[in-house]
Amino acid sequence: MAINVKLLKKICEAPGVPGYESKIRNLIIKEVTPLVDSVEVDNMGNVITIKKGKSDAKKAMIGAHMDEIGFMVTHIDDKGFVRFTTLGGFDPKTLTAQRVVIHGKKDVIGVMGSKPIHVMSPEERTKMPKTTDFFIDLGMPKKEVEKIVSVGNPITRERELIEMGECVNCKSIDNRVSVFVLIETLRQLKSTPYDVYGVFTVQEEVGIRGANVAAHSINPDFGFGLDTTIAFDLPGAQPHERVTALGEGTAIKIMDAMTICDYRMVEYMKEVADKNKIKWQTELLTAGGTDTAGIQRMGKNGAISGAVSIPTRHLHQVIEMAHKKDIDNSIKLLKACLESLDGYDWSHK
């Protein structure tokens, strides 16, 4: 099944750093409203959708965060150069030679600048860059910059989605590909045993804040996180380092640094994938975390939780890459899991 690349492109390119998700949120609401029974936005800004099942005796919650890593304006100097702080995790070297968009009174393009290598000392050339080495150049003097930009304005990265072979490549595949997967799953779901709460969460990149609040409110019995994961199938990678590989199927999370997935859910997901001939691989990540953590333990009773992870190369860069077949298999696995939750023995054995 071919994925809707046109929709994925719209979702990935929409701006929405932590705490400033309004544009991507509005896009999601427009897309998802015809597909579900109800849509609401909570005080945090999470979009909480409900698709009614055959019974409301139990609840299944799926979390896909809508925010992307980005920046915030902290200072405008006398020459109009903008200083910033990061919103989310960055490898500083990936900032070199990038365009950004400052969302002030209007959107304005800037470029990431730093000290030219031609005037660096030999010692400076050997040092790894820091985020504080960079500034944003808008090509305008201070008085013009201040007509548009203020301290506190959010900043996003500028990069369009393109297709490369069997893959898609863009900024913010993390985690807009999961937003896409959840929308497409809700589109395809026809009948489920229990009510399905599809939640598009905020502020994951700064500490799974939206998922914590949503799970506390919903109190789900079952939980599925949706997020990207590292595909370290690159030159120089050792087999034990790879985590996942592109094109080898959707990934079933076993653990990350914030979550040990419920062993019952892991086995259930494997069985469902095999039964439905869905290509899958395991994901065991010793660092990082996803909304799965909040879904699993922030409800009153805790949730039997696991995660569908989409293998992605070059994470937290503007050239993130995912395989279209892995994306499609992620939709298929989530849909199949939601449709048969009542057919499994969930008792602790």
Q: Catalytic residue numbers?
A: 204
Task: Name the DSSP class of 246.
Answer: T
- List strands edge to edge, sheet with 320-323: 162-164, 167-170, 320-323
Cα–Cα distance for residue pair 336/341, rounded to 1 Å: 9
- What's the helix, strand, coil split of the chain in %, to 5? 30, 30, 40
Cα–Cα distance for residue pair 179/201, rounded to 1 Å: 9
Helix 324-339 to helix 263-275 angle, to the nearest 10 degrees? 110
User: In degrees, to the nearest 5, what angle opens at C-alpha 261 toward C-alphas 257 and 264?
Assistant: 165
Structure tokens at 158: 């500028």
- Give the list of residues 6+ apart from residue 96 with CB closer than 8 angstroms, or none: 112, 114, 129
- Give the list of residues 6+ apart from residue 321 with CB closer than 8 angstroms, or none: 164, 167, 168, 169, 173, 231, 246, 312, 313, 314
